[in-house]
Structure 1
Amino acid sequence: MPVTIHCLADVCLIPIGTGSASVSDEVTAITKLAQDSPLETTLHSAGTTIEGPWNEVMDLIGQFHQHLHDKHGVVRIQSDIRVGTRTDKKQCPQDKIDVVQQKLKNL
């Protein structure tokens, strides 16, 4: 049975052994995949936030890995993934930021 719970995932892919300290080519490639997907994605300085059903989010992360292996020749990739779910309400990344910003104004 597919897992359809809504989630927010922060993912950071780390290509290993590319011969360069820069990973901007790899980040650009997976950002293009993210933007072309039907899921909501947000690039930030330390990775990408993906919003959507659990299985679709995890599938997209797998596509990132597959693309870098197949199209960019990256032999090894390590990913850091943090996933959050909640069932009481739907929340997008900006909602979470807005709550903190509002609380800062009240300090």
Structure 2
Amino acid sequence: MAQSASQNGLYAVADFCLIPIGTGEPSVAEYIAECVRVLEKTGLKFKMHGYGTNLEGPWSQVVQAIHDCHAAVHAKGASRIATDIRIGTRVDREIPPGTGNESKVQRVEEILKRAQATSP
């Protein structure tokens, strides 16, 4: 088992989409900005994208960060929140902290480059 899994618990690479409901506003950007403020304080690596956020770190910290986003968005006035979460873990190799999602994307890009180089 990889060191990160055995010594620090499972390392998680997550993608989550937090959706404030019942805000009465057409845009949820203010609520998402509040969630980003929470994530910035965690010290975890995250990257916002058009329909969610990639977040990675120790499982317990990732789940706590999503919980804290919910609490902050409720405190900002959203009475309901729906969140979709996908979490991946692996224990067959070491994942250097902060590189889980980046390495997944890089691997696919390398495959595509090789295919381009060998195509006529």
Same fold (TM over 0.5): yes
- Structure number with bigger Rg: 2
The amino acid of 2:108's aligned partner reads V
Structure 1 residue 4 displacement after superposition: 2.1
Give secondary structure in 2 for the equivalent of 1:106.
helix
Aligned to 1:24: 29
Say whether residues 1:52 and 2:60 are aligned partners. Answer: no
Cα distance in structure 1, aligned partners of 2:13 and 2:22: 29
Aligned to 1:86: 90
Alignment of 1:1-107 (within 5 A): 4-70=9-75, 72-89=76-93, 90=95, 92-107=100-115
Deviations 1:36-83 (A, max 9, x none): 21111111111111111111110110000001112x111000000000
The amino acid of 2:38's aligned partner reads L
Tell me the number of residue pairs that the alignment of Structure 1 and Structure 2 aligns: 104
The amino acid of 1:25's aligned partner reads E
Structure 1 residue 25 displacement after superposition: 0.5
Query: Which contiguous aligned blocks of 4+ residues in structure 1 show a shift greater than 2 angstroms?
Result: none
TM-score (norm: length of structure 1) = 0.91
Q: Which has the higher helix share?
A: 2
Cα distance in structure 2, aligned partners of 1:18 and 1:42: 24
Unaligned runs of 5+ in 2: 1-7, 116-120
